[in-house]
Structure 1
Amino acid sequence: MTDKRNKLQKKSIYPVDAQYIYAWHARPGALERLIPPWQEAQVLERSGGLGRGGKTTIRMRIASIAFTVKAEHLQAIPGKMFEDRQTEGPFSLWQHRHLFQNEENGASMEDLVQYRLPVHEFLPSFVHGAVKKELTRTFTYRHEILRHDLARHQRYSWPPLRILISGASGTLGRELVPFLESGGHRVFRLVRRGVEGDKEIYWNPALGEIDSNAIPEIDAIIHLAGEQIGLSRWSRGKKERVLRSRKNGTRLLCAAMAKLPRPPQVFLSASATGYYGDSPEQNLSEEQEAGSDFISQVCKVWEKEAAQAEITGIRTAMLRMGVTLSHRGGALKRLLQIGKIALPRSFGNGRQYTSWIDINDMLAAILHCLVCPEIRGPINIVSPQPVRNEELLATIAQIKKRPLLPRVPASFLTFLYGEMAREIALANCHVSSKKLVESGFCFQYPELKKSLKIQLGRYR
């Protein structure tokens, strides 16, 4: 028998029908999308679908303890329900039923979970309370991200696309692949290691190699690959690798595209708001000239190479991405790592602007650029609400309940990190999202606090 402490129930209404929600759960990438970003988890296996006999294996890590969770599906009624139970993992009992039902204004999804902890009877009440709190936090996230993804894919209802992605193993790529796959699109990856399966194609930009013969008929290419900028002082060699990886990789892709029997209709190439450099101006638009610093010149060369695809008749857009907020990587993860106890009040005087975007809005903006035929050339992918550095750090500290320490002087940062500090941490970048908004894109998380609450799982 289970008692109230061992049950969890959550129900939400979505503006789609029940079959649509069920179908989303059945697709590749759905489970990855439902894993909260603050949890260290990797889906190792998902086979057999949602019906009886389906299996799932997840590798998780909590407080430096790694363990495997295995589950099997017990039953499924398409469009109505499916049920699974844990066969290996931290709970002595875990049985999860997902119920779908059409309602007057859409459809409901209800999660019903029964669970029991090992040595349940001997655990103090605060342990039960902590587990229930974390499960509630997790399912709140799951329902929120499901609402986001269903709305995005319904809005951009489109025949499934066949998409080739470079940089799929990076922070953005790891999020983008499951987002697109759970929307019904088929994703192929360019990989430098040995190819595994028919969804991977070998390439090595450093050697100028790509297996063009293995590229299937595709509708779009999303190019994200490039040497990481890094967090340490830039050496001459590092700067050369950053520039060369973007220049050579983009050139190689454009040449390969031009030779395909049926070239893709769309080419989206990553760039960055660093294109504008450290600028005192506000609301920088895509017509603004490139800055004069290192990152600006890298972006300028990167975009020039990508523009070659347009010459061959492929609709091409250069995505000038802002600082992407994700608990799983990038700037936010680094700030959380240095702010486990406290955060600095600011870097430098804190008045410099950061043009940022929530990871989920970033994914949706990429999908928007894929399917909107009027989007060409450079486009800023940023929230409409840039924030000053001091506001960014203060908001993180407030949500995480961390104290603020004195400012880190600009001179100290430049002493430690040199050019990297001036261009990454201290540069002023206030970029406009007008072109993106006027093309019809709607932000789900335009406000910093709203974005951070979903990324950090703090809903109150």
Structure 2
Amino acid sequence: MGKSQRFEARSQMPVNAEAVFAWHAREGAFQRLTPPWEPVEVVEKQGEGIREGTRVVLRMHLGPVSLPWTARHTRYVPGSLFQDMQESGPFARWVHTHRMWDEPSGGTVLEDDVEYALPVGTLGSVVAGGYSRHRLERMFAYRHAVTREDLRRHAAFAGHAPRTVAVSGASGLVGSALVPFLTTGGHRVRRLVRGRPEAGDIAWAPGQGEMDVAALEGVDAVVHLAGAPIAEGRWTPERKDLIRRSRVEGTRVLCESLAKLARPPRVLVSASAMGFYGNRGDEELTESSASGRGFLADVSREWEAATEPAERAGIRVVHLRLGVVLSAKSGALAKMLPAFQAGGGGRMGTGQQWMSWVSLEDVLGLVHFALFTEGMRGPVNAVAPNPVRQEDFARTLGQVLSRPTVVPLPAAMVRTLFGEMGQEMLLNGARIRPEVAQREGFTFLHPTLEQALRFTLGKTTEGPRFQHG
């Protein structure tokens, strides 16, 4: 076994220690704390939460290599401390102690204290010691930032009772992050699922026009994110029909069901898309701008119109017009990364088309903000306040990755490879401003592109105070 080493990360949190501990103890904390660039899945769990004796079997994916990791929780002091240790896995030794304590001046200190030893004795420490410390610093900078901002966002609405929120599309890019964001905040989530539902889930079959209406009773809010992926392959007539039906018909089935409830939910946050505006050149667009032309504009208009039954039933409806959602885990950015990391990235077409983007963390914040903010109704542009031209996006991504971006993708090649989808998704653009969100007082965590990319790629220069020993 290599020499035992110690790593500490310490940060200020905006709430008291009891609230910090409760956030970690709730379902979904592990998912929230897993960096998007280091995929880890829970294979098996025995026990309750983070209590002493709970055993968790994980699987880490490092490129083509899959590593098992079994951990057991060994200490649990409500409000101040919990600990887990590796039973088997990639380290010769790993003991992770999470501590939190109130500061006299207010707020809390969160400390992660890791005692670890690398395998293969001294050789492992010499060869991999610096690499391991760097990975720990990246990981805990991300974890502390997520914890701090989640706590801040939930504290802003602490005067409201916890909600029961139904979520469709819970396995997608936004939904899979939203569910743990809500549960760690103390809310109850009920997933809308196709097929046989598990405990707490709600069955629906939008393609057949079916919904378990009775199971929706008692839901306080609904977040509707379901829809077939748009950017997967060429748009054949069959694919376009699936994209449209999955959004329009699914939304109509859901909203007609909500309208039948004895006590309808207070709010429906329903996904839409920036495709609503079409290809608009340099025109600055807000929620009051007219719709554009094209397949995505047509689908978005029908998609939003399908919520009419819910509006007639008195439900406050928010149409979240999503920009390009940035996450290293999946979605558009994840698809771009291999080429850019290999030094093969660059502008698409002229590169002058506007790209209205938003970080995944700010999408979660906007959904949460919309659930509790009565002034948000109708269209809401879910985009960052600083759109960029596509060539600026490519250059910034290259800078964050320390890679050149000199390999352009000509427009003719885009059209040849992707057809109509390539034209609308890659070559068209819209310069969109989040007027409603800013007017209502929403604070963007990542208002600039470089901030968003550095956060999701683990390249941030800011973070907790680190100590190595």
* Superposed displacement of residue 124, structure 1: 5.7
Q: How far apart are the structure 2 equivalents of 1:14 and 1:148?
A: 9
* Residue equivalent to 2:15: 16
* Superposed displacement of residue 2, structure 1: 7.6
Deviation digits for residues 359-413 of structure 1 (CA, Å, limit 9, x no counterpart) = 1011000000000011111111110000110111111111111122232111221
Deviation digits for residues 94-135 of structure 1 (CA, Å, limit 9, x no counterpart) = 101111111123110111101112222332613121112111
Task: Tell which deviates more after alignment, 263-272 or 253-262.
Answer: 253-262
Q: How far apart are the structure 2 equivalents of 1:445 and 1:252?
A: 35
Q: How far apart are the structure 1 equivalents of 2:77 and 2:292?
A: 57
Return the match for 1:176 from 171, 175, 178: 178
Deviation digits for residues 157-190 of structure 1 (CA, Å, limit 9, x no counterpart) = 2211000011001111111101111111100001
Deviation digits for residues 178-221 of structure 1 (CA, Å, limit 9, x no counterpart) = 1111111100001113222x221211111112222333410011
Q: How far apart are the structure 1 equivalents of 2:408 and 2:62?
A: 32
| Partner SS, residue 123 of structure 1 | helix
| Partner SS, residue 229 of structure 1 | coil
* Superposed displacement of residue 58, structure 1: 2.1
Distance 1:124 1:315, change over 3 A: closer
Size of the alignment, in residue pairs?
458
Distance 1:285 1:307, change over 3 A: farther
| Partner SS, residue 188 of structure 1 | strand
**Amino acid in the other structure paired with 2:153:** R
Deviation digits for residues 268-288 of structure 1 (CA, Å, limit 9, x no counterpart) = 110011100001243211122
Quick check: 2:234–2:419 contact (8 Å CA) kept in 1?
yes
**Amino acid in the other structure paired with 2:108:** A
Quick check: 1:306–1:318 contact (8 Å CA) kept in 2?
no
* Superposed displacement of residue 64, structure 1: 1.4
1:167 corresponds to 2:169 = yes
1:368 corresponds to 2:372 = no
* Residue equivalent to 1:142: 143
Quick check: 1:2–1:114 contact (8 Å CA) kept in 2?
no
Higher relative contact order (CA 8 A, sep 6+): 2
Question: Runs (4+) of structure 1 moved beyond 3 Å?
Answer: 44-47
1:94 corresponds to 2:94 = yes
| Partner SS, residue 97 of structure 1 | strand
Q: How far apart are the structure 1 equivalents of 2:237 and 2:41?
A: 36
* Residue equivalent to 1:411: 412
Unaligned stretches of 5+ in structure 2?
A: 462-469
* Residue equivalent to 2:192: 190
Please give the residue correspondences for 1:143-158 in structure 2 after superposition, counting only pairs within 5 Å: 143-157=144-158, 158=160
Q: How far apart are the structure 1 equivalents of 2:30 and 2:124?
A: 30
* Residue equivalent to 1:402: 403
Quick check: 1:141–1:454 contact (8 Å CA) kept in 2?
yes
| Partner SS, residue 165 of structure 2 | strand
Q: How far apart are the structure 1 equivalents of 2:163 and 2:351?
A: 43
Q: How far apart are the structure 1 equivalents of 2:309 and 2:424?
A: 28
Structure 1 length as normaliser, TM-score?
0.96
* Residue equivalent to 1:358: 359
**Amino acid in the other structure paired with 1:73:** H
Q: How far apart are the structure 1 equivalents of 2:70 and 2:394?
A: 39
* Residue equivalent to 1:72: 72
| Partner SS, residue 404 of structure 1 | coil
* Superposed displacement of residue 358, structure 1: 0.6
Unaligned stretches of 5+ in structure 1?
A: none
Deviation digits for residues 315-360 of structure 1 (CA, Å, limit 9, x no counterpart) = 1111001111011111110110332311332001111111111110
| Partner SS, residue 37 of structure 1 | coil
Cα RMSD for the two superposed structures: 1.5
Please give the residue correspondences for 1:51-130 in structure 2 after superposition, counting only pairs within 5 Å: 51-103=51-103, 104-123=105-124, 125-130=126-131
Distance 1:68 1:344, change over 3 A: closer
Paired-residue identity, %: 39
Task: Tell which deviates more after alignment, 185-194 or 357-366.
Answer: 185-194
Q: How far apart are the structure 1 equivalents of 2:309 and 2:216?
A: 20
**Amino acid in the other structure paired with 1:316:** V
Q: How far apart are the structure 1 equivalents of 2:10 and 2:370?
A: 33
Please give the residue correspondences for 1:32-431 in structure 2 after superposition, counting only pairs within 5 Å: 32-46=31-45, 47-103=47-103, 104-123=105-124, 125-157=126-158, 158-196=160-198, 198-431=199-432
* Superposed displacement of residue 51, structure 1: 2.6
* Superposed displacement of residue 68, structure 1: 2.4
Structure 2 length as normaliser, TM-score?
0.95
